[in-house]
Chains A and B, each alone.
Chain A
Amino acid sequence: MRASKIARYGLLVALALALSYAESLIPSPGVPGVKLGLPNLVVVFALYRLGTVDAWAISLIRVGLVFLLFGSGAGLAYSLAGAVLSLAVMCLLKQSGKFSETGVSVAGGVAHNAGQIIVAVFLLETTRLAWYLPVLCLSGTVAGVLIGVVSALLVKRVPEFKS
């Protein structure tokens, strides 16, 4: 049981890491923070199919590994704030039972962007970042819908893990 759990974590963390890298290859549209959030596919999947603790473990290990592989100090603060706020909101909405994977993922996407803006306000010591709020709210919603629809399919279609 323990070994199978370790193997499962390893598999999903590796997948999330590969998706982080794949996402870094997509050119940015010119506003920092506008992105798809591909690794969130794995996090939403883990949240629904494995559990809250597993989703947290996979998400945080991914952030740590991305930092070790390609990161900088400021980058860690941004990705950590985004990941933590996003997953916290997703857990709450999932627990409420009122939303499907899509709604949960949309809230996660917007919360991720909100977390990054909050860190930027502290790091850059400026409150003038309000200009990014509408764009990041919109992009978080759109990305959340896309990731949510695909996650819902994965949650439904990926065969049960044997343990």
Chain B
Amino acid sequence: MDRFKTHRNDVLLIAALLILAGALALFLRLGRHDGGTVSVSVDGETVAELPLDRDASLPIEAEGGNNLLVIEDGAARMESADCPDRLCVKMGSIRYAGESIVCLPHRVVVTVEEGPDGGFDAAAR
């Protein structure tokens, strides 16, 4: 296989992956709708469910450490965490169904769940 062909294949591969990323993003974006509640799980077990439309703050105690979840203006975010990388805090806020914040070291997952008007009907609309 000559150099021109391998380089052309490289470009095709890169283009295919970029299109895949774009298609995935578009698919997820079109399918999104506002969430109703936020569910918090530690180690795969749900420990709390909170409505998104009411401001609240929830301290989460996990094996590895603590996180503070804040719900404000219909969006949830990690206000603080005592893990070393604090990635979950940097991940910002979430408001659409299916979005999540993950804290890997503490194995905490915060996920926005379907609202009462969401689910199948909203997807079919």
* A residues lining the B interface (CB < 8 Å): 28, 30-32, 72, 74, 78, 97-100, 102-103, 106-107, 110, 120, 123-126, 128-131, 133-135, 137-138, 140-141, 145, 148
* In the bound complex, CA of A97 to CA of B105 (Å): 40
Determine whether the beta carbon of B87 is less than 8 Å from that of A126.
no
- With both beta carbons as reference points, the residue of chain B lying nearest to A24 in the complex is identified as B85
CB-CB under 8 A for A103 and B13, given A72-B105, A123-B107, A131-B99: yes
* In the bound complex, CA of A90 to CA of B37 (Å): 42
Q: Which residues of B contact A145 (CB under 8 A)?
A: 14
B11-51 vs A, CB cutoff 8 Å, 1 = contact: the mask equals 00110011011101100100000000000010010000000
Out of B14, B17, B25, B104, name the residue touching A32 (CB < 8 Å).
Answer: B104
Out of B22, B44, B85, name the residue touching A124 (CB < 8 Å).
Answer: B44
Out of A31, A98, A141, A148, name the residue touching B1 (CB < 8 Å).
Answer: A98
12 examples of A-B residue contacts, CB within 8 angstroms: A32-B87, A74-B105, A78-B104, A100-B6, A103-B10, A106-B17, A126-B111, A128-B98, A129-B100, A129-B102, A130-B24, A134-B25
CB-CB under 8 A for A28 and B100, given A141-B17, A145-B14: no
Chain B: interface residue count, which band?
Answer: 20 to 34
Determine whether the beta carbon of A99 is less than 8 Å from that of B111.
no
* B residues lining the A interface (CB < 8 Å): 1, 3, 5-7, 9-10, 13-14, 17-18, 20-22, 24-25, 28, 41, 44, 85, 87, 90-92, 98-100, 102, 104-105, 107, 109, 111
Out of B21, B41, B104, name the residue touching A134 (CB < 8 Å).
Answer: B21
CB-CB under 8 A for A107 and B13, given A74-B107, A100-B6, A131-B99: yes
* In the bound complex, CA of A30 to CA of B87 (Å): 6
CB-CB under 8 A for A130 and B98, given A30-B91, A138-B21: yes
Q: Which residues of B contact A141 (CB under 8 A)?
A: 14, 17-18, 21
Main secondary structure of the interface of B (DSSP, over half): helix
User: Shortest beta-carbon distance, B52 to chain A, in Å?
Assistant: 16
Out of B20, B22, B107, B109, name the residue touching A128 (CB < 8 Å).
Answer: B109
User: Shortest beta-carbon distance, B99 to chain A, in Å?
Assistant: 6
Determine whether the beta carbon of A102 is less than 8 Å from that of B10.
yes
Q: Which residues of A contact B10 (CB under 8 A)?
A: 99-100, 102-103, 106, 148
- With both beta carbons as reference points, the residue of chain A lying nearest to B26 in the complex is identified as A134
Determine whether the beta carbon of B28 is less than 8 Å from that of A131.
yes
Q: Which residues of B contact A140 (CB under 8 A)?
A: 17
* In the bound complex, CA of A78 to CA of B87 (Å): 16
Determine whether the beta carbon of A99 is less than 8 Å from that of B17.
no
Determine whether the beta carbon of B111 is less than 8 Å from that of A138.
no
Determine whether the beta carbon of A103 is less than 8 Å from that of B9.
yes
